């Protein structure tokens, strides 16, 4: 196979010359080759495999690059990394691996190209291209990776039971690649994932979440979420979600399957807003409170009253357990979920402006995201109903936009500060300042006064007087 177009790159010529000089055969391998053969945008990560020492090759390569690049050496792993034209190039010596049951970190010894290809996760990731003088550009494909790429199938080079048990993170990778590339996982391989699902417990939460986030950020996350569910991995990683599965019927009343509904909402939000990881997390977890709030009310049917409030209370523990960032992302997800039902209560032309201002005050800049989630939450298959629900949301979005333009509530800052109040009445910090500030805020949100200094000032004087304060006349 002639891969000449990929191999026009100067870096490959440099590796070729360097390999020859130090007499170590070298290859491009892994994700770069896979993505190139798939015709994808060139990967920023380039893995160079050499039969010998990776660090030695990196040092030789660096001699041909100007200005002389900084080499990062990872002695413990015998690898080295340097940057060239925005590309991260990793040099690694071919190795043979063996594993013990309690860890996914292998014992490593020097090996051949074949040994190294054997230890890789999928046939499509074991493809290598020679950078050697005698067969430069030759594709080395011992497991039929190219044919699997064409057939869109994920297969492990060796016994899948061994591949997944050795490094259980590969179960997550299989599902991640399947979602990103829309490839299917070979039947027997998926069986091995089911069999080895509990091995995921030896993988750190950080690594699991890294893959999980890639699934969530893909074009159609439900592909991966369903595979995670079917393999049994989801109930280990995120049982709060799998508990949503199921439909119950009583006295002729049925509720929807909240698990499948959630998957649809996540797919919908992925179409509405690209690349927004935390909004996707909010969509994924927006109904988890339903497990704890489900009630059957005779003659009314199923109720999940306050599920958004109960759900938002569960977020901290989930984020902590999964080692997701507890700072702003967690606060954002919590806020979106807690407010996820509020816009529904504001549907209709009878809704007062003040109620909309209150929502804007509460949710601030995230109001657009909240409204997008409301749109994504419409999953009815009844087209008429769907259209009507969407129109309702669009109508509310328009009102929000108009009100915000007029009243500037989103990033609301009181026109009167606590310091202003202390100065005007010549008082020290005390409870009355809070009372006055709240009164001003409520009056603005209610639309009783406009959102500017002069009106707020007069209101402050009036409220201060009511509270027994006297204006300082100095
Ligand atoms: N690999 C593996 N098992 C793992 C991780 C990686 O066998 N648990 C191998 C695969 O051959 C993979 C290569 O190491 O192609 C590089 O790994 P990585 O950079 O993590 O993944 P890529 O395949 O390059 O894909 P992506 O960049 O999308 O993560």
- Give residue 190 CA to ligand 1 midpoint distance, Å: 19
Give Cα separations from 408 to 68, 186, 403, 440 (angstroms): 54, 55, 8, 15
CA of 30 to the centre of ligand 1 (A): 6
- Say which CATH class 152-237 falls into: mainly alpha
Confidence (pTM): 0.90
The pLDDT assigned to 7 comes to 63
Q: What is the pLDDT of residues 295-314, one digit of tens each?
A: 888 888 888 899 999 999 99
Residue 377 CA to ligand 1 centre (angstroms): 35
* Test site for ligand 1: of 27, 29, 31, 163, most ligand atoms within 8 A of the Cβ: 31
72-74 and 45-50 strand pairing:
unpaired
152-237 shares the fold of 4-151:
no
Q: What is the mean pLDDT of the chain?
A: 93
Name which residue sits closest to atom 29 of ligand 1, judged by CA.
31
More confident residue, 24 or 451: 24
Kindly report the protein residue whose alpha carbon is nearest to atom 9 of ligand 1.
120
Q: pLDDT band for 270, please (50, 70, 90 cuts).
A: very high
Ligand 1 nearest-atom number relative to CA 30: 15
Residues with CB under 6 A from ligand 1: 30-31, 45, 47, 120-121, 125, 167, 169-170, 173
The residues that bridge with 22 in the sheet, in sequence order, are: none
Nearest CA to ligand 1 atom 19: 31
Q: What is the pLDDT of residues 137-176, one digit of tens each?
A: 999 999 999 999 999 999 999 999 999 999 999 999 999 9
pLDDT greater than 80 at residue 347: yes
DSSP secondary structure letter of residue 82: E
Residue 1 binned pLDDT confidence (cut-offs 50, 70, 90): very low
Which whole-number Å values give the CA distances from 332 to 65, 78, 304, in the listed order? 45, 41, 23
Over residues 17-74, the pLDDT tens digits come to: 999 999 999 999 999 999 999 998 888 899 999 999 999 999 999 999 988 899 999 9
List the domain boundaries for the chain: 4-151, 152-237, 418-466
How many whole angstroms from 465 Cα to the centroid of ligand 1?
70
Query: Under 8 Å CB-to-CB from 110, ≥6 apart: which residues?
Result: 52, 93, 94, 95, 96
Residue whose CA is at the smallest distance from ligand 1 atom 8: 170
- CATH architecture, range 4-151: 2-Layer Sandwich (3.30)
- Cα separation, 377 vs 373, in Å, equals 6
User: pLDDT-based confidence at 4, cuts 50/70/90?
Assistant: low
CA distance 199 to 169: 9
Reading phi first (left if > 0) and then psi (alpha if -120 to 50, else beta), residue 83 is in beta
More confident residue, 407 or 370: 370
Q: How far apart are CA 55 and CA 80, in angstroms?
A: 5
Q: Tens digit of pLDDT for each residue in 89-108?
A: 999 999 998 888 888 888 88
CA 173 to centroid of ligand 1, rounded, Å: 8
Query: How many CA atoms are closer than 13 Å to the CA of 74, on its beta-carbon side?
Result: 11
């Amino acid at each position: 196979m002639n891969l000449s177009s990929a191999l026009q790159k100067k870096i490959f010529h440099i590796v070729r010359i360097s390999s020859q000089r130090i007499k170590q055969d070298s290859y491009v391998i892994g994700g770069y080759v896979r993505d190139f053969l798939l015709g994808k945008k060139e990967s920023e990560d380039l893995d160079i495999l050499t039969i010998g020492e990776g660090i030695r090759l990196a040092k030789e390569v660096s001699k041909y690059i100007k200005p002389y690049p900084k080499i990062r050496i990872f002695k413990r792993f015998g690898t080295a990394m340097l940057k060239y034209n925005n590309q991260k190039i990793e040099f690694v010596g071919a190795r043979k691996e063996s594993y013990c049951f309690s860890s996914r970190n292998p014992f490593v010894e020097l090996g051949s190209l074949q040994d190294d290809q054997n230890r890789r996760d999928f046939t499509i990731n074991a493809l290598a291209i020679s950078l050697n003088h005698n067969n430069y550009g030759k594709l080395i494909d011992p497991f039929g990776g190219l044919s699997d790429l064409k057939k869109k199938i994920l297969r492990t080079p060796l016994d899948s039971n061994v591949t997944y048990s050795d490094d259980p993170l590969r179960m997550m990778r299989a599902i991640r690649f399947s979602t990103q590339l829309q490839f299917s996982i070979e039947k027997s391989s998926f069986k091995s994932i089911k069999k080895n699902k509990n091995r995921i417990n030896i993988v750190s939460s950080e690594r699991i979440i890294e893959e999980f986030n890639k699934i969530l950020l893909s074009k159609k996350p439900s592909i991966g979420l369903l595979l995670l569910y079917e393999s049994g991995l989801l109930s280990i990683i995120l049982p709060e979600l799998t508990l949503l599965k199921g439909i119950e019927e009583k006295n002729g009343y049925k509720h929807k399957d909240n698990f499948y509904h959630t998957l649809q909402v996540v797919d919908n939000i992925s179409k509405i807003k690209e690349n927004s990881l935390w909004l996707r997390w909010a969509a994924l977890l927006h109904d988890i409170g339903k497990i704890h709030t489900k009630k059957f009310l005779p003659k009314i049917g199923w109720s999940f009253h306050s599920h958004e409030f109960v759900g938002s209370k569960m977020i901290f523990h989930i984020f902590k357990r999964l080692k997701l960032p507890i700072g702003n992302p967690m606060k954002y997800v919590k806020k979106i979920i807690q407010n996820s039902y509020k816009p529904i209560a504001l549907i209709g032309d009878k809704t007062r402006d003040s109620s909309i201002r209150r929502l804007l005050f509460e949710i601030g800049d995230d109001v657009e995201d909240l409204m997008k989630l409301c749109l994504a939450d419409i999953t009815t298959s009844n087209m008429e109903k769907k259209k009507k629900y969407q129109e309702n949301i669009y109508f509310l979005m328009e009102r929000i936009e108009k009100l915000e333009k007029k009243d500037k509530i989103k990033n609301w800052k009181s026109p009167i500060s606590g310091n202003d109040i202390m100065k005007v009445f010549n008082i020290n910090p005390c409870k009355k300042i809070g009372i006055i500030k709240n009164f001003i805020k409520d009056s603005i949100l209610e639309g009783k006064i406009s959102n500017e200094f002069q009106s707020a000032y007069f209101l402050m004087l009036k409220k201060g007087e009511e509270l027994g304060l006297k204006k300082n006349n100095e």
